[in-house]
Protein backbone atom coordinates (compact mmCIF):
# COMPACT_ATOMS: atom_id res chain seq x y z
CA UNK A 1 0.00 0.00 0.00
CA UNK A 2 1.38 3.40 -0.94
CA UNK A 3 2.04 5.45 2.18
CA UNK A 4 0.28 8.73 2.70
CA UNK A 5 3.56 10.67 2.47
CA UNK A 6 4.38 9.27 -0.98
CA UNK A 7 0.95 9.64 -2.54
CA UNK A 8 0.66 11.96 -5.48
CA UNK A 9 -0.90 15.36 -5.01
CA UNK A 10 -4.10 16.21 -6.87
CA UNK A 11 -2.10 18.48 -9.19
CA UNK A 12 0.32 15.65 -10.02
CA UNK A 13 -2.57 13.28 -10.70
CA UNK A 14 -4.26 15.87 -12.91
CA UNK A 15 -1.09 16.32 -14.97
CA UNK A 16 -0.60 12.56 -15.30
CA UNK A 17 -4.22 12.04 -16.43
CA UNK A 18 -3.82 14.77 -19.04
CA UNK A 19 -0.62 13.09 -20.29
CA UNK A 20 -2.39 9.72 -20.42
CA UNK A 21 -5.25 11.22 -22.43
CA UNK A 22 -2.73 12.76 -24.83
CA UNK A 23 -1.02 9.39 -25.34
CA UNK A 24 -4.26 7.52 -26.07
CA UNK A 25 -4.90 7.61 -29.81
CA UNK A 26 -8.63 6.99 -29.23
CA UNK A 27 -9.07 10.30 -27.41
CA UNK A 28 -8.86 13.90 -28.61
CA UNK A 29 -7.34 15.35 -25.39
CA UNK A 30 -8.50 18.90 -26.04
CA UNK A 31 -12.10 17.63 -25.79
CA UNK A 32 -11.75 16.42 -22.20
CA UNK A 33 -11.33 18.47 -19.04
CA UNK A 34 -9.80 16.98 -15.88
CA UNK A 35 -10.47 17.99 -12.27
CA UNK A 36 -9.04 16.16 -9.24
CA UNK A 37 -10.13 16.35 -5.60
CA UNK A 38 -8.82 13.87 -3.06
CA UNK A 39 -7.50 11.53 -5.80
CA UNK A 40 -10.99 11.38 -7.33
CA UNK A 41 -10.91 12.40 -11.00
CA UNK A 42 -13.82 14.17 -12.68
CA UNK A 43 -13.83 14.17 -16.47
CA UNK A 44 -15.80 16.88 -18.28
CA UNK A 45 -16.20 18.14 -21.81
CA UNK A 46 -17.74 16.93 -25.04
CA UNK A 47 -16.60 14.07 -27.28
CA UNK A 48 -17.81 12.83 -30.64
CA UNK A 49 -18.55 9.18 -29.79
CA UNK A 50 -19.39 6.82 -26.95
CA UNK A 51 -16.18 4.90 -27.71
CA UNK A 52 -14.13 8.05 -27.05
CA UNK A 53 -16.05 8.61 -23.82
CA UNK A 54 -15.17 5.09 -22.61
CA UNK A 55 -11.56 5.46 -23.75
CA UNK A 56 -11.17 8.67 -21.72
CA UNK A 57 -12.53 6.95 -18.63
CA UNK A 58 -10.18 3.99 -19.09
CA UNK A 59 -7.22 6.34 -19.56
CA UNK A 60 -7.96 8.08 -16.26
CA UNK A 61 -8.23 4.74 -14.43
CA UNK A 62 -4.83 3.67 -15.77
CA UNK A 63 -3.03 6.46 -13.90
CA UNK A 64 -1.31 5.43 -10.70
CA UNK A 65 -2.80 7.22 -7.67
CA UNK A 66 -6.32 7.56 -9.07
CA UNK A 67 -8.92 6.18 -6.65
CA UNK A 68 -12.18 6.84 -8.51
CA UNK A 69 -13.37 8.46 -11.74
CA UNK A 70 -16.55 10.48 -12.26
CA UNK A 71 -17.33 10.57 -15.96
CA UNK A 72 -19.34 13.70 -16.79
CA UNK A 73 -18.24 13.78 -20.43
CA UNK A 74 -21.08 14.42 -22.88
CA UNK A 75 -21.32 12.62 -26.23
CA UNK A 76 -22.30 14.99 -29.01
CA UNK A 77 -22.24 13.36 -32.41
CA UNK A 78 -21.03 15.29 -35.47
CA UNK A 79 -23.74 15.81 -38.06
CA UNK A 80 -22.01 13.35 -40.39
CA UNK A 81 -22.44 10.58 -37.77
CA UNK A 82 -26.13 11.18 -37.12
CA UNK A 83 -28.11 8.01 -37.74
CA UNK A 84 -31.73 7.35 -36.94
CA UNK A 85 -32.62 4.83 -34.25
CA UNK A 86 -33.69 2.22 -36.80
CA UNK A 87 -30.27 2.32 -38.46
CA UNK A 88 -28.51 2.09 -35.10
CA UNK A 89 -30.70 -0.83 -33.99
CA UNK A 90 -29.83 -2.69 -37.19
CA UNK A 91 -26.12 -2.05 -36.60
CA UNK A 92 -26.45 -3.25 -33.00
CA UNK A 93 -28.04 -6.52 -34.15
CA UNK A 94 -25.29 -7.04 -36.74
CA UNK A 95 -22.58 -6.38 -34.15
CA UNK A 96 -24.07 -8.84 -31.67
CA UNK A 97 -24.46 -11.52 -34.35
CA UNK A 98 -20.87 -11.07 -35.55
CA UNK A 99 -19.33 -11.43 -32.07
CA UNK A 100 -18.75 -15.15 -31.47
CA UNK A 101 -18.49 -14.56 -27.70
CA UNK A 102 -22.03 -13.18 -27.49
CA UNK A 103 -25.20 -15.34 -27.45
CA UNK A 104 -26.99 -12.81 -29.68
CA UNK A 105 -30.34 -14.64 -29.75
CA UNK A 106 -30.63 -14.17 -25.97
CA UNK A 107 -30.13 -10.40 -26.13
CA UNK A 108 -32.59 -7.68 -27.11
CA UNK A 109 -31.82 -4.02 -27.69
CA UNK A 110 -33.85 -0.82 -27.58
CA UNK A 111 -32.53 2.37 -29.16
CA UNK A 112 -33.91 5.77 -28.19
CA UNK A 113 -32.23 8.96 -29.33
CA UNK A 114 -28.98 7.10 -29.93
CA UNK A 115 -28.94 5.51 -26.45
CA UNK A 116 -28.84 1.72 -26.56
CA UNK A 117 -30.43 -0.39 -23.82
CA UNK A 118 -29.42 -4.05 -23.77
CA UNK A 119 -31.61 -6.67 -22.08
CA UNK A 120 -31.68 -10.44 -21.96
CA UNK A 121 -30.12 -13.31 -20.07
CA UNK A 122 -26.67 -14.82 -20.54
CA UNK A 123 -24.66 -17.57 -18.88
CA UNK A 124 -21.85 -15.51 -17.37
CA UNK A 125 -20.70 -12.01 -16.61
CA UNK A 126 -18.06 -12.10 -19.36
CA UNK A 127 -20.78 -12.49 -22.02
CA UNK A 128 -22.65 -9.54 -20.52
CA UNK A 129 -19.59 -7.30 -20.76
CA UNK A 130 -18.68 -8.53 -24.24
CA UNK A 131 -22.13 -7.57 -25.54
CA UNK A 132 -21.58 -3.97 -24.43
CA UNK A 133 -18.09 -3.92 -25.96
CA UNK A 134 -19.51 -5.15 -29.27
CA UNK A 135 -21.87 -2.18 -29.42
CA UNK A 136 -19.91 0.72 -27.98
CA UNK A 137 -17.84 1.49 -31.09
CA UNK A 138 -20.82 1.73 -33.45
CA UNK A 139 -21.46 5.00 -35.24
CA UNK A 140 -24.39 6.97 -33.84
CA UNK A 141 -24.29 5.44 -30.34
CA UNK A 142 -24.48 8.11 -27.61
CA UNK A 143 -24.52 5.77 -24.62
CA UNK A 144 -25.21 2.22 -23.44
CA UNK A 145 -27.38 0.96 -20.59
CA UNK A 146 -26.50 -2.67 -19.94
CA UNK A 147 -29.42 -4.44 -18.23
CA UNK A 148 -28.45 -7.93 -19.35
CA UNK A 149 -28.93 -10.41 -16.51
CA UNK A 150 -26.67 -13.35 -15.74
CA UNK A 151 -28.34 -16.73 -15.16
CA UNK A 152 -28.25 -17.72 -11.52
CA UNK A 153 -26.05 -20.76 -11.04
CA UNK A 154 -26.52 -23.20 -8.17
CA UNK A 155 -23.16 -22.46 -6.56
CA UNK A 156 -22.63 -21.89 -2.84
CA UNK A 157 -20.79 -18.70 -1.81
CA UNK A 158 -17.97 -20.84 -0.37
CA UNK A 159 -17.52 -22.75 -3.62
CA UNK A 160 -17.81 -19.59 -5.69
CA UNK A 161 -15.15 -17.85 -3.60
CA UNK A 162 -12.88 -20.88 -4.03
CA UNK A 163 -13.44 -20.90 -7.79
CA UNK A 164 -12.63 -17.18 -8.01
CA UNK A 165 -9.45 -17.61 -5.97
CA UNK A 166 -8.37 -20.46 -8.24
CA UNK A 167 -9.09 -18.33 -11.32
CA UNK A 168 -7.03 -15.45 -9.91
CA UNK A 169 -4.11 -17.78 -9.21
CA UNK A 170 -4.23 -18.99 -12.82
CA UNK A 171 -4.77 -15.70 -14.62
CA UNK A 172 -3.91 -12.62 -12.53
CA UNK A 173 -0.58 -10.94 -13.25
CA UNK A 174 0.45 -10.65 -9.59
CA UNK A 175 -0.05 -12.20 -6.18
CA UNK A 176 -3.75 -13.12 -5.98
CA UNK A 177 -3.52 -13.35 -2.18
CA UNK A 178 -3.60 -9.55 -2.02
CA UNK A 179 -7.14 -9.46 -3.44
CA UNK A 180 -10.01 -9.66 -0.97
CA UNK A 181 -13.24 -11.21 -2.25
CA UNK A 182 -16.71 -10.55 -0.86
CA UNK A 183 -19.43 -12.87 -2.18
CA UNK A 184 -23.17 -12.44 -1.69
CA UNK A 185 -25.07 -14.85 -3.88
CA UNK A 186 -23.59 -14.33 -7.33
CA UNK A 187 -22.59 -10.74 -6.56
CA UNK A 188 -18.85 -10.28 -6.08
CA UNK A 189 -17.02 -7.27 -4.68
CA UNK A 190 -13.24 -7.04 -5.05
CA UNK A 191 -10.98 -5.15 -2.65
CA UNK A 192 -7.22 -4.74 -2.40
CA UNK A 193 -4.28 -3.10 -4.12
CA UNK A 194 -2.95 -3.83 -7.60
CA UNK A 195 0.14 -2.42 -9.26
CA UNK A 196 -1.26 -1.39 -12.63
CA UNK A 197 -4.34 -0.98 -14.80
CA UNK A 198 -3.31 -4.14 -16.69
CA UNK A 199 -3.27 -6.13 -13.45
CA UNK A 200 -6.63 -4.67 -12.47
CA UNK A 201 -8.15 -5.71 -15.81
CA UNK A 202 -6.59 -9.19 -15.48
CA UNK A 203 -8.20 -9.65 -12.06
CA UNK A 204 -11.62 -8.45 -13.25
CA UNK A 205 -11.39 -10.59 -16.37
CA UNK A 206 -10.60 -13.71 -14.37
CA UNK A 207 -13.52 -13.07 -12.01
CA UNK A 208 -16.13 -12.22 -14.67
CA UNK A 209 -15.35 -15.45 -16.54
CA UNK A 210 -15.96 -17.59 -13.44
CA UNK A 211 -19.14 -19.66 -13.53
CA UNK A 212 -21.67 -18.40 -11.00
CA UNK A 213 -20.56 -14.75 -10.99
CA UNK A 214 -23.53 -12.52 -11.83
CA UNK A 215 -21.90 -9.13 -11.46
CA UNK A 216 -18.65 -7.62 -10.20
CA UNK A 217 -18.10 -4.45 -8.18
CA UNK A 218 -14.51 -3.24 -8.43
CA UNK A 219 -13.22 -1.59 -5.24
CA UNK A 220 -9.56 -2.28 -6.01
CA UNK A 221 -7.03 0.54 -6.08
CA UNK A 222 -3.81 0.99 -8.03
CA UNK A 223 -0.98 1.50 -5.54
pLDDT score for 77: 83
Nearest 5°: CA angle at 121, between 116 and 122? 105
What phi and psi values does residue 40 have, to the nearest 5 degrees? Answer: -100, 125
Determine if residue 216 is left, alpha or beta; phi over 0 gives left, psi from -120 to 50 gives alpha, anything else beta: beta
Length of the chain: 223
Q: What is the rounded average pLDDT of the residues 90-99?
A: 96
Q: What b-and-e string marks burial along 181-203, b requiring 16 or more CB atoms within 10 Å of the CB?
A: bebeebebebebbbeebebbbbb
pLDDT(86) > 60: yes
pLDDT at 2: 45
- In sequence order, the 6+-apart residues with CB closer than 8 A to the CB of 38 are 10, 67
Weakest mean pLDDT among 14-18, 34-38, 114-118, 148-152: 148-152
Mean pLDDT of the region 190-203: 84
**Residue 3 pLDDT:** 46
Confidence grade of residue 1 (pLDDT, cut at 50, 70, 90): very low
**pLDDT at 219 (0 to 100):** 86
What's the pTM?
0.70
* Residues facing residue 171 across a β-bridge: none
Confidence of residue 69 (pLDDT cuts 50, 70, 90): very high
**Res. 88: pLDDT tops 60:** yes
92, 135 contact by CB (below 8 A): yes
Q: Which domains does the chain have, with CATH numbers?
A: 4-75 (3.30.1340), 81-150 (3.30.1340.30), 157-222 (3.30.300.130)
What confidence category does residue 10 fall into, taking pLDDT thresholds of 50, 70 and 90?
Answer: very high
Tell me, what's the pLDDT at 179? 86
Which whole-number Å values give the CA distances from 162 to 183, 205, 212, 216, in the listed order? Answer: 11, 16, 11, 16
Q: What is the tens place of the pLDDT at every residue in 142-188?
A: 999 999 998 877 778 788 888 888 888 776 555 667 888 999 888 89
Mean per-residue pLDDT for 30-41?
93
Q: Which of 161, 109, 151, 159 is nearest to 127 (CA)?
A: 151
Phi, psi of 41, deg, nearest 5: -95, 130
The total of other beta-carbon atoms located within 10 Å of residue 100's CB is 8
pLDDT at position 45 is: 95
Q: Give the pLDDT score at 175.
A: 60
- Pair 119, 146: CB distance under 8 Å: no
Amino acid sequence: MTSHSTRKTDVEIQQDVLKELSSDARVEPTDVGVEVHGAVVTLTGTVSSWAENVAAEEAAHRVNGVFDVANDVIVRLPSSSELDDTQIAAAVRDALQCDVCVPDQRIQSTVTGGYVTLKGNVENCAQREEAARAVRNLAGVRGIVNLIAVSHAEVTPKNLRGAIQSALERHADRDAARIQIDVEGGHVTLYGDVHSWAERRAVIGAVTATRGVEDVVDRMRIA
